[in-house]
Amino acid sequence: MKQYSSFDEIVDADLILVDSYLRNDSFFQSVASEDTFLMIIDDFGQREIACDAYFNHNFFAADLDFSKTKSKFYFLGEDYLLVSNRFFELGAQRTRGIDFPERILISFGGSEQGQFCWPLVSAIRSLDVDVPLTVVIPGVESKGIPADAGDVVQLEHIDLSQAFEHHGLFVCGAGQASLEAFAARQPVIPVVIAANQQPNALALEQRGVQVVSEFDPESIAKICCEYLCVGLNNVANSQLRKDSKLSQAVKTLITYGRSKNP
């Protein structure tokens, strides 16, 4: 694959695909050409964009205001979800009642430097829960590892399509990873850690996923521990209805991710 240092060097491209928040209308105009098909991947529809094809795969895409967007073709919504088929295959396995290991995976994305994972690990351990944990923190060095972290595997990166097969619960930001968990029917606790995740969080809630509206490690830890104590012990729907003491978050997790009759 040929590498370019600037778009000025691209003079013979049939297709230019742009996926960046840093590009504005002047940039799109500079690369526009009758001989080049320009396709934009976007999340919000709030920027001034002129292109040949506009692509937004979010659940909420059809409800956005595209008055600033000029495009010949629009590809909007979950019909165009940018999620590997492997996640949907995992989801089909879960609906057949296949069991999954009791381990929690914690991953908050590329901006994570330990500011989310480690406080959550400490909060879980403060509840005297010894469940094995996997934390994903990009970069070689991570600061602030709790002394009482216990059974924790720390990774720099992970293939979620493989990781879901080895983890019974996933805690993540309410962005792309939560969409992949949704497709895989992975029991998941999406947490809003950035303002741009709020529309996706609302769309997930409308589809039956319990979302935590802000990062509160103590609250998230309680949901994790309650789910592990109850949800991973083959709780049937009949038992679920009778036990009104369960939090709604855990009831949602059990029904969504563990029920053999979802």
The confidence band for 217, taking pLDDT boundaries of 50, 70 and 90, is very high
> Cβ distance 114 to 145 under 8 Å?
yes
Q: Which has the minimum average pLDDT: 164-168, 187-191, 252-256? A: 252-256
The pTM for the full model equals 0.79
Cβ-Cβ contacts under 8 Å for 73 (sequence gap 6 or more): 52, 53, 54
Under CATH, which number does the domain 85-258 receive? Answer: 3.40.50.2000
- Counted residue by residue, the chain has a size of 262
Q: Please tell me the distance from the alpha carbon of residue 129 to that of residue 172, in angstroms, as a whole number.
A: 19
Average pLDDT, the chain: 80
Q: Which residue has the higher pLDDT, 70 or 94?
A: 70
Contacts of 178 (CB under 8 A, 6+ apart): 172, 188, 190, 200, 201, 204, 209
**pLDDT above 70 (res 233):** no
> Is 4 exposed, middle or buried, given 0-12, 13-18 or 19+ CB atoms closer than 10 A?
exposed
> What is the per-residue pLDDT across 36-59, written as a single tens digit (0 to 9) for each?
898 999 887 777 888 899 999 988
Domain boundaries, the chain: 7-80, 85-258
